C-alpha cells in the first residue's frame, strides 16, 4: 500500500502505507520515546496531531490493550521508519498495523523520519497531511491539503477528548474533583492506588458542578492544545484557589498558571519524549521525565503571582513545576504517571499530592 505525507513547507515524501486507508490532516510533531507506542497513540493530548516516532522500529511487541491511556487512538496518523508485522510478546493481542486499522487511522512507514525530524526542529511543528491507499493517493495534492487546514489553536480539541458525563472512582481517602481535559488513564491509576475518592468531571464543568461533589481538592488533568481554550478550568482554578488544594499535570499545570496570572507560550516543536531532564530546585536532583506538550509557562510571568517555580527543565530552562505553599497548589509540566517513559517522579509527585490533599504541606 502506498502512503504520502505532505508538510506545509512543501516537503513531500512517499512511503508504504499501513493501517486504515484514508486522508488525515493535523499538526506533525515528533516523539523521541524508544518504546511505548501503545501508550503514546492512546494519549488524548495528541488529539489533532500526526505523530512521528524518531525511533525507527515500531510495533515490535505488538499491542496488548493493557497500557491504553484512553479508549482509542488520538493522533490522526502515525509516521515511522519501519513497522514489525509479527510480534510475539506474551501480552500482544494484535499487530500495530491491525490496531490502526481497528482505529480507522492511517500510518506511513519506510520514510526518512530523521530528515522530517530535523525539518520540524528547524521550522517548528508544522501543518501536515497524510494519505494512504492507492486509490486515495491518486491525483492528490497532499502539500496543498496540509496547507489548507485550520491552525491547531483554533480547534476545539477539548470537547473531543473529555468525558461526556461525570463518573466516580471510589476511594477511602481525600476526595478530588478531577477536571478531565483528556486525562490519561495512568493519572487516575496513580491517584486511585493512593486511595483518593475521585469524581471525574467534563472539561466544561461549572463552579457549581464542582461544588456539587464536595471535593477536598481540585485536580486539573493533561490534555491537548492551547491552555487558553480551557476556559472553564481556568475559571474553576481562579475560584477555588485558596479554598481547597489544587493540583495539575501538563495542560493542568498551564491552566493553573494562567488562572493565577502567569502567561503561556507555544514552544517551537514542543517536548515529546521520555528523556527530558527536570531539575528540582530544592534538592538539586535531576529527574528524567516523560513529556508531551507544545505550550509552556513563561518563567518571568510567574514572578509577582502567588506561585513559585519549584522545578526547571535542565535542557531549555522551561518551567516544569510550580507551587504555592500558602494556597496549597502543586503542579508539574511533565507526566509523573509516565506511560510511556520513566517512572522516577511518580512517587515524589503523587505522594506529595496525597500529603497536601490530606491537610499537610
Partner 1 sequence: MPRRPDIKKVLLIGSGPIQIGQAAEFDFSGSQACKSLREEGVEVVLVNSNPATIMTDPDMADKVYIEPLVPEIVAKIIEKERPDGIIAGIGGQTGLNITSELAEMGVLERYNVEVLGTKVRSIQEAEDRDLFKKAMERIGEPVPRSIAVTSLEEAEEAMKELGLPLIVRPAYTLGGSGGGIARTREDLMRICEMGLKRSRIHQVLLEESVIGWTEVEYEVMRDSNNTCITICNMENMDPMGIHTGESIVVTPIQTLSDHEIQMLRSAAINIIRALGIEGGCNIQFAVRNGEYRVIEVNPRVSRSSALASKATGYPIARVTAKIAIGLTLDEIRNDVTKETPASFEPTVDYVVIKIPRWPFDKFVKADRTLTTSMKSTGEVMAIGRSYEEALMKAIRSLDIDIDLGYNGKYTPWSDEDVRELLRTPTDERLFAIYQALRRGFSVDEISQLSMIDPYFIERIQNIIQMEDELKKGLTPDRLRRAKRMGFLDSRIAELVGLSREEVTDYRLSLGIIPTYKMVDTCAAEFAASTPYYYSTYDEECELSPSDKKKVLILGSGPIRIGQGIEFDYCTVHAVTALREMGIEAHIINNNPETVSTDYDTSDKLFFEPVTLEDVMNVIEKENYWGVMVQFGGQTAVNLAVPLERELKRRGLKTVILGTSPDSIDIAEDRERFNKLLNSLGIPQPRAGIAYSPEEAKKVAKEIGYPVLVRPSYVLGGRAMEIVYDESGLELYMREAVRVSHEHPVLIDDFLQNAVEIDVDAVCDGRDVLIGAIMEHIEEAGIHSGDSACMIPPQTLPEDVVATAKDYVRRIALALGVRGIINIQMAYKDGVVYVLEANPRSSRTIPFVSKAVGLPLAKIAAKVMAGMTLREMNLNVEPEIPYVAVKEVLLPFDKLPGADVLLGPEMRSTGEVMGIDYNMGLSFFKAEMSAENSLPLDGIVFISVRDEDKAEMAEVARRLASAGLKIIATDGTSEYLRRAGVPAERVRKIYNGSPNVLDYIRRGEVKLIINTPTTKQSVRDGFQIRRSAVDYHVPYITTVQAAKAAAEAIEKALKGELTIKALDEYHREVRYRSL
Rounded CA gap, 171 and 198, in Å? 7
* Residue 89 lies near partner 1 (rule: CB under 8 A): yes
Q: How far is the CB of 328 from partner 1 (least distance, A)?
A: 27
Output phi, psi for 256, to 5 deg.
Answer: -60, -45
Q: CA–CA separation, 289 vs 269, rounded Å?
A: 17
Q: Residues 309, 302: contact at Cβ < 8 Å?
A: yes
Catalytic residue among 250, 271, 272, 293: 250
Q: Which range binds partner 1 by CB under 8 A, 82-90, 131-139, 232-240, 258-266?
A: 82-90
Shortest distance in whole angstroms from residue 81 CB to partner 1: 6
Q: Rounded to an integer, what distance in angstroms lies between the CA atom of residue 124 and that of residue 110?
A: 23
Residues that contact partner 1, how many (by CB under 8 A): 56
Residue choice 1, 2, 9, 61 for contact with partner 1 (CB under 8 A): 61
Instruction: Spell out the residues 6+ positions from residue 121 whose beta carbon is closer than 8 angstroms to its own.
Output: 268, 269
SS3 125: coil
> CA 96 → CA 43, 60, 112, 194, 211, distances in Å?
16, 8, 20, 33, 43
Residue 49 found at the interface with partner 1 (CB under 8 A): no
DSSP characters over 203-254? TT--HHHHHHT--SEEEE---SS-GGG-HHHHHHHHHHBTTB-EEEETHHHH
* In the complex, least distance from residue 277 CB atom to partner 1, rounded to whole angstroms: 4
Q: Is 121 in the site for partner 1 (CB under 8 A)?
A: yes
Among 49, 69, 113, 149, binds partner 1 (CB under 8 A): 113
Angle at 278 between CA 273 and CA 281, to 5 degrees: 170
Sign of CA dihedral 273, 277, 281, 284: positive
Report the residue number, 58 or 232, with the smaller CB distance to partner 1.
Answer: 58
Work out whether 90 is an interface residue with partner 1 (CB under 8 A). Answer: yes
| The binder of partner 1 chosen from 132, 320, 340, 349 (CB under 8 A) | 340
- Contact between 60 and partner 1 by CB under 8 A: the answer reads yes
List the interface residues with partner 1, window 260-319 (CB under 8 A): 273-277, 279, 283-288, 314-315
User: Which entry of 109, 253, 271, 335 is annotated as an active-site residue?
Assistant: 335
Check if 337 is active-site.
yes
In this chain, which of 1, 34, 123, 267 binds partner 1, going by CB under 8 A?
A: 34
Choice from 8, 27, 39, 337 touching partner 1 (CB under 8 A): 39
Helices (H), the chain: 37-41, 96-103, 113-123, 134-137, 142-148, 158-161, 185-192, 207-212, 231-240, 251-259, 299-302, 346-357
The one segment of 41-49, 50-58, 138-146, 329-337 that binds partner 1 by CB under 8 A = 50-58
d(CA 196, CA 173): 5
CA nearest 197: which of 165, 222, 220, 219?
219
**By CB under 8 A, is residue 81 in contact with partner 1?**
yes
Among 4, 23, 29, 33, binds partner 1 (CB under 8 A): 33
**Which residues of this chain interact with partner 1, rule CB under 8 A?**
13, 30, 32-36, 38-39, 54-57, 60-61, 64, 66-67, 81-82, 84, 86-91, 111-115, 117-118, 121, 273-277, 279, 283-288, 314-315, 338-344
- Residues serving a catalytic function are 250, 335, 337
Amino acid at each position: 500500500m502506498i502512503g504520502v505525507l505532505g508538510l506545509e513547507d512543501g516537503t513531500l515524501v512517499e512511503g508504504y502505507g499501513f493501517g486504515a486507508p484514508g486522508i488525515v490532516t493535523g499538526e506533525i510533531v515528533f516523539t523521541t520515546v524508544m518504546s511505548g507506542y501503545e501508550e503514546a497513540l492512546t494519549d488524548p493530548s495528541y488529539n489533532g496531531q500526526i505523530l512521528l516516532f524518531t525511533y525507527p522500529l515500531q510495533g515490535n511487541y505488538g499491542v496488548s490493550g493493557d497500557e491504553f491511556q484512553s479508549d482509542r487512538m488520538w493522533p490522526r496518523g502515525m509516521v515511522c521508519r519501519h513497522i514489525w508485522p509479527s510480534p510475539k510478546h506474551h501480552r500482544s493481542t494484535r499487530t500495530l498495523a491491525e490496531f490502526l486499522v481497528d482505529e480507522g487511522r492511517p500510518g506511513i512507514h519506510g520514510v526518512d523520519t530523521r530528515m522530517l525530524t530535523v525539518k520540524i526542529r528547524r521550522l517548528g511543528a508544522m501543518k501536515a497531511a497524510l494519505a494512504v491507499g492507492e486509490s486515495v493517493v491518486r491525483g492528490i495534492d497532499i502539500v496543498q491539503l496540509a496547507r489548507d487546514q485550520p491552525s491547531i489553536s483554533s480547534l476545539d480539541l477539548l470537547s473531543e477528548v473529555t468525558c461526556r458525563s461525570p463518573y466516580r472512582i471510589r476511594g477511602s481517602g481525600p476526595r478530588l474533583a478531577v477536571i478531565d481535559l483528556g486525562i490519561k488513564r495512568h493519572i487516575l491509576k496513580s491517584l486511585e492506588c493512593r486511595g483518593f475518592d475521585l469524581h471525574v468531571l467534563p472539561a466544561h464543568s461549572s463552579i457549581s458542578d464542582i461544588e456539587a461533589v464536595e471535593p477536598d481538592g481540585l485536580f486539573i488533568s493533561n490534555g491537548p492544545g492551547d491552555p487558553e481554550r480551557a476556559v472553564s478550568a481556568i475559571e474553576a482554578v481562579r475560584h477555588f484557589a485558596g479554598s481547597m488544594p489544587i493540583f495539575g499535570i501538563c495542560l493542568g499545570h498551564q491552566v493553573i498558571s494562567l488562572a493565577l496570572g502567569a502567561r503561556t507560550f507555544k514552544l517551537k516543536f514542543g517536548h515529546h519524549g521520555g528523556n527530558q531532564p527536570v531539575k528540582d530546585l530544592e534538592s538539586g536532583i535531576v529527574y528524567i521525565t516523560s513529556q508531551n506538550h507544545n505550550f509552556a509557562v513563561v518563567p518571568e510571568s510567574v514572578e509577582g503571582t502567588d506561585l513559585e517555580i519549584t522545578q526547571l527543565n535542565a535542557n531549555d530552562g522551561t518551567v516544569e513545576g510550580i507551587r504555592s505553599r500558602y494556597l496549597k497548589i502543586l503542579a508539574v509540566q511533565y507526566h509523573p504517571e509516565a506511560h510511556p517513559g520513566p517512572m522516577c517522579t511518580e512517587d515524589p509527585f503523587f505522594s506529595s499530592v496525597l500529603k497536601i490533599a490530606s491537610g499537610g504541606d
